[in-house]
Structure 1
C-alpha cells in the first residue's frame, strides 16, 4: 500500500496498488488502442493539471512538456485532434502568462523553486500563442469530444 496526499487537509489516505491480474487486464485493454487515443488521454491529463496550477512555476513546466510532446507527435494525430490540442495549449500559454502577472511570478507551497527555463526545440514552433477565444477556465478538450 502507498500513501497519497489528502486534498482535504487531513491525514494522507492509504491506497491499494492494483493486483497483478488487474494490471494484466489493464494492459490487455490498452494494447489495442490507437496511439492517437492514448496521446489524447495523456495530453488531456497534463493540460488539466496545468490548468489547475495556472500561475505556478510547475504549470509552466507542464505546459512546456505538453508543447514539446505535441511538436513531436503532431504528424501522428488527426487534423481535428491536433487543432483542438493546439488551441487549448495556446489558451493555457496565454492564461499562464496572465496568471504569472497576477501572482508576480512568486512560487507557492509544493511548487518548483523557480520557473523552468524555456524548452530548447530542434524544430521551429508551430504557432505563437494567440489571444484565447474563450476564457482559460472553459472546459478542456477531452478525448472523444
Structure 2
C-alpha cells in the first residue's frame, strides 16, 4: 500500500475549496464532479457518472470501482458528498471527506483486494441526501 500524503490531501482540498451549490454555483459543482472523475480515471478506475435531476438542476454522482479479485460481487462502498450549503466553501462539510476519498483511492490503487470497493462521490447531500438516495 502507498502511504497517504498530507500534501495530496491539502492539494485536493484546495482544488475544490469553494461554494459548490446546485442553485447558486452549479458550474462549480460540475467542475468538482469533473475533478473527481479525472482523479479516478488517473488511477485507471472504471468511472460511472449517474445523472441526478433535482428541482431543475442536473448534477452527477461520480462512482469509481476497484474490482475485487476473488469475490468481485461483494462490494464495499466508501462515500463522501461534494455539494455545499449555500454561502460556504465546504472545507469541512464535506471537502475534507472528498479529499480523503481521493487519497484513499490513490493509496489502495496498487493493492489487490478480495472484494470490490466502490468509491462514491455523491451530489446533493445538502438537500435531503438526494444523490445517495438516487444511487
User: TM-score, length-normalised on structure 2?
Assistant: 0.31
Structure scoring higher RCO (CA < 8 A, sep ≥ 6) equals: 2
Higher helix share: 1
> Which of structures 1 and 2 has the bigger CA Rg?
1
